Structure 1
Amino acid sequence: MTSAYFSYHFAQDAVRASAARRVMGLEADEPISPVAWEELGYGGENAVTRWVAERMRGKDCVVVFVGAQTSLRKWVKYEIKEAWESGRGIIGIDVHQLLDNRGKPGKPGKNPFEQFAYGGVNLSTIIKVHQPLGDTQEERLAHIAANAPIWAANAVAARRVPVA
């Protein structure tokens, strides 16, 4: 089973990310609680970078849940950079159509991988942001459940092939 680290805009997309990660069939750590995330921030940047490193250790891939403001988040950018530089597979999953705690979908966000280039190649041309198909929350989650293990395995395998 592929192991994953999950990256997302915590304040805005935690409920959407939680719904998606529950059905994905990937091995992962338990999500951090809102209180623990806030307390971690009090420790400063070094505390957060250590926490990210500990959580990423041993993970095959990083799953970036893309919402309205994901591409603007400092720690998401850091996690993408760390994942790429450490050779992990990376996938994006657009979660803006999943429902928040008020039962509302979000707004689409920019592709967070467009901000990165390595060897003259923009990561948005390498890393796919998957769009869950379906008209309802249940259909979108079923699409994620059926495909996420394949998406993650393909991303891990792709990192074993040298990028031009």
Structure 2
Amino acid sequence: MSKRVFFSFHYQDVIDFRANVVRQHKLTKNDNAGYFDASIWEEAKKTGEIALKRLINDELKNTSVTAVLIGTDTYDRRWVRYEIVKSLSKGNSILGIHINNIPGKDQKTKSSGLNPFDYLGIQYNSDGTRVDFYEYRNNKWVLYKDLDGYTISKVNDERKGKFFKLSYFYNTYDWILDKGYDNFSNWIK
């Protein structure tokens, strides 16, 4: 069955063309990459905060995978963080793809951006029935404000009361070094 993929990215990476390479690669392949693009364009950000959250939530409906395209400043973008946390609470599979090794419009590459999964975390309560979201801001972990935690089925005893960065759970790849053009459909399985 084909996967519906939601792409989360900083719009600057669309301007620089790096995000487009990943998002549109299936159009240049002879085979079907096995996903449908369900991205939101930057113009939606001109609306109010509540309307934007609603739009993101609607775009995430009927998706099963969230691919975070990691450029230079992706880790620090408020709406990318919201898309990641909302994807987690929705139950999507999540992965990160570093895109700075893709030549931009200027044909230059950049050093890898910071992993946004290192700047978001979850904490299970002491009895393992609730999870709360955290983000790293101003050199400390603070409760995430854009989306509340939620009640869960009990987790393994070793996770009760503990905090984890999302990078503990989610893989990241490099589009160029890990041959994303050939391997993307395997990454989203």
TM above 0.5, one fold? yes
Please name the residue that 1:49 is paired with.
Answer: 53
Q: Deviations over 1:48-77 (max 9, x none)?
A: 111111111000110000011000111100
Q: Confirm whether residue 61 of structure 1 aligns to residue 61 of structure 2.
A: no
Question: 2: distance between equivalents of 1:130 and 1:50?
Answer: 29
Structure 1: runs of 5+ lacking an equivalent: 135-139, 154-164
Please name the residue that 2:173 is paired with.
Answer: 130
Q: Shift in Å at residue 12 of structure 1?
A: 3.3
Q: Secondary structure at the match of 1:98?
A: coil
Please name the residue that 1:100 is paired with.
Answer: 104
Please name the residue that 1:146 is paired with.
Answer: 182
Matches within 5 A, 1:1-164: 1-14=2-15, 15-23=17-25, 25-29=33-37, 31-32=39-40, 37-38=42-43, 40-118=44-122, 119=124, 120-134=163-177, 143-153=179-189
Deviates more, 1:41-50 or 1:70-79: 41-50
For normalisation by structure 2, the TM-score amounts to: 0.68
Instruction: Classify 1:133/1:42 alpha carbon distance in 2 versus 1 (closer, same or farther; 3 Å).
Output: closer
Structure 2: runs of 5+ lacking an equivalent: 27-32, 125-162
Q: Shift in Å at residue 32 of structure 1?
A: 4.9
More helix by share: 1
How many pairs does the alignment contain?
A: 142
Higher relative contact order (CA 8 A, sep 6+): 1
Instruction: Classify 1:20/1:12 alpha carbon distance in 2 versus 1 (closer, same or farther; 3 Å).
Output: closer
Matched-pair contact (CA < 8 Å) for 1:4–1:26: no
